[in-house]
Amino acid sequence: MVRCIWNNDAMTLGFTCTLPTWVDDVVDFSRPYDTDADKMDLAIELSRRNVIHHTGGPFGAAIFDEATDRLIAPGVNLVIPASNPTAHAEIVAMGVAGARLDRYDLSNDGAEPTVLAASVEPCAMCLGATPWSGVTSLLVGARDADARTIGFDEGSKPDDWVGYLETRGISVRRDVRRQLAVQVLDMYLAEGGEIYNANGAQYDA
């Protein structure tokens, strides 16, 4: 899990990211995920397994090499088990991708474009992180309103957040497998999953 570790004696702070062990059974680094639907199917399956295994919230993400369609990094929401408010699926995927590629700019200044697939539209935090990550394309499944419907607070975002990303050179495609992504949100709610940071959920973006 993603967890901050504080050693009072040594006065040191550690930050590590470890995905749940079941992720190995879901991802395949050797095959291409040829279509947008293939990429989104992986993100949604990660979110679904996260709910089934009770290892976090109902959100999944994955980052791919645009040229080869190969998976670079998976990510799942680990906020509750990791006691980390920033451990959203997109942020986790970005962190894993950066570690695997050994660079903070995941698209290498545009030379190696990358695609981020997220099972739900980015919240305010993940929206801010998206252009800084260097990804050049964003695919999203469920909409912001779908997450708000079950009680999650997605934060305040510009009405035209898609246009904002596109002005930053990031293409956006919405509603990719939306119904399947919404089913995972509904399953999480039906199973009594914790709706964390829900206080602001009633406010519109």
Residues 122-150, mean pLDDT to the nearest whole number: 97
Per-residue confidence band for 8, with pLDDT thresholds at 50, 70 and 90 = low
Position 12, amino acid: T
Of 152, 53, 72, 69, the residue nearest 61 (C-alpha): 72
C-alpha 5/C-alpha 130 separation (Å) is: 26
According to the CATH classification, is domain 3-190 in 3.40.140.10?
Answer: yes
Confidence of residue 126 (pLDDT cuts 50, 70, 90): very high
Report yes or no: 127 and 144 within 8 Å, Cβ to Cβ.
no
> Residue 201: which pLDDT band, with cuts at 50, 70 and 90?
very low
Q: Which helix (H) or strand (E) holds 140?
A: strand 137-142
N-term to C-term CA, the chain: 30
What's the mean per-residue pLDDT of the chain? 91
Domain boundary assignment for the chain: 3-190
* 152 token code pair: 């999650």
Give the number of other CB atoms < 10 A from CB of residue 96.
22
CA-to-CA distance for 121 and 144, rounded, in angstroms? 5
Instruction: Note the pTM of the prediction, 2 decimals.
Output: 0.91
Active-site residues, by number, are 90
pLDDT range class, residue 3, cuts 50, 70, 90:
very low
CA dihedral 204, 153, 40, 106 (to 10 degrees): 100
pLDDT number for residue 74: 97
151 has pLDDT over 60 = yes
Distance CA 180, CA 167 (A): 29
Residue 120 — pLDDT band, cuts 50, 70, 90?
A: very high
- Residue 61 above 50 pLDDT? yes
Q: Are strands 137-142 and 114-120 parallel, antiparallel or unpaired?
A: parallel
Q: Which residue has the higher pLDDT, 36 or 13?
A: 36
* pLDDT over 70 (residue 147): yes
pLDDT at 13: 61
Average pLDDT over residues 5-19: 61
Q: 97-125 burial, b if ≥16 CB within 10 A, otherwise e?
A: bbeebeeebbbeeeebbbbbbbbbbbbbb
Contact 184, 89 (CB under 8 A): no
Q: Burial level of 192, CB count in 10 A (0-12/13-18/19+)?
A: exposed
Confidence of residue 83 (pLDDT cuts 50, 70, 90): confident
